A and B are shown apart, each in its own frame.
Chain A
Amino acid sequence: MLGGETVHALGYGYLFSPVLLNIVVLLSVAVMFNYPFAWRRYPQSWHQRTQSAVVADEKGMIPHSNLVYALSQIDTFVDVSEDDLQRIYALALAGQPQPATDTAARPAESPG
């Protein structure tokens, strides 16, 4: 209805000719472009969880079934991957800067 004559004339060809073609190009650029940036693992599923931060805190991880339960309770689409939820939780628990020098020279800061 809104794409105009050009789109209408394509019919179902629209699926392949602009749409699929565009997606393939965009996807490949996204994969290549994100690759050099270590913290951006673009197709998340290709990621073998090499992030040391997670591994270090693996024990503190929330069981998968508990997260499934939590999201089923919220019952609204939440756009985060499980990996990210686990990492956020682990990092948030590990707390602030993990100082290189153990001497806490930081100003008054209420610990969690």
Chain B
Amino acid sequence: MVRKLAYSVSEREHWISAGGSLLGILAVAWVSHIWLGAHGAIFVASSMGSAAVLLFAAPHGAMSQPWPLFGGNLVSALVGVSCARWLGNEPMLAASLAVSLSIAAMYSLRCLHPPGGATALYAVLGGETVHTLGYEYVFSPVLLNVVALFAVAVAFNYPFAWRRYPQSWVRRPHSAAKTAEDSMIPHSNLVYALSQLDTFVDVSEEDLQRIYALALAGAPSAKPAVSIEPVSART
């Protein structure tokens, strides 16, 4: 387990991820500045930093998809503000409950999104400015920020053919997946497998199918079918 599998990506991906988040946060800050400029403050929920990591560095992740992004942040903001309001004089309890209840809420709404925890925490620990907002926090920085970040993520990932950002918009034009289509694992079997693991796995089904199809097809299949394989113990 020396090499972490996930880092099998090319260097190109590193720079695209970094560049995308630069544009994403820039847009979030800029939109907030325009919109809330009257308040004289650049208002960005700190959780946008972690949302940007998901959207730009792991655009295929289950946690990075639109519903987790919107649902996760909004419901957590709601939970966070409620905790801040009702337990305002017990900040320790309020902060921990905010995170814990938002995980519960996100799970039940099927929109688990790590930055949601930060969104909830920020509602409690964000200081006076955030407290005075009350439930407006849900819309004014949070929804506004999320919309800006999402728009940039969709537009930015679009030109890169292998990064299909909202995965549900994909029409599967990938030939690699097609060729091995018949070796695909039935959906119900994957559901069963994940229910056995019984822990959240941050991959889309499309990616799981593609990974297995590609892995089974084996490495450089560019070579003709002549088997030059050395003594390979095929099981």
Interface residues, chain A, with chain B CB atoms under 8 Å away: 1-4, 39-40, 45, 53, 59-60, 62, 65-85, 87-93, 95-97, 110, 112
Contact = CB atoms under 8 A, between A and B. Distances in A.
A96 B17 contact: no
Given A39-B198, A96-B192, A88 B59 contact: no
A76 B50 CA distance: 17
B207 interface: yes
A39 to B, nearest CB: 5
B89 interface: no
B218 A69 contact: yes
A93 B6 contact: no
A82 B3 CA distance: 10
Interface of B: 1, 3-6, 8-10, 12-13, 17, 42, 44, 46, 57-61, 63, 127, 162-163, 176, 185-186, 188-190, 192-194, 196-199, 201-203, 207-208, 210-216, 218-220, 235
B148 to A, nearest CB: 15
A68 B46 CA distance: 34
Contacts of A74: 9, 60, 162, 207, 210-211, 214
Contacts of A45: 1
B100 to A, nearest CB: 12
A101 B46 CA distance: 54
Which of A71, A79, A87, A96 has the largest number of chain B CB atoms within 10 A? A79
Given A77-B60, A89-B185, 20 more contacts: A3-B46, A39-B197, A59-B235, A70-B210, A70-B214, A74-B162, A75-B9, A77-B9, A78-B58, A78-B61, A78-B211, A80-B5, A81-B5, A84-B201, A91-B197, A92-B192, A93-B185, A96-B188, A96-B189, A112-B189
A77 B13 contact: yes
Given A75-B9, A85-B5, A53 B196 contact: yes
B68 to A, nearest CB: 13
Nearest to B220: A69
Contacts of B9: 71-72, 74-77
B42 A71 contact: no
Nearest to B60: A76
Which of A74, A89, A93 has the largest number of chain B CB atoms within 10 A? A74
Contacts of A67: 5, 211, 215
B194 to A, nearest CB: 7
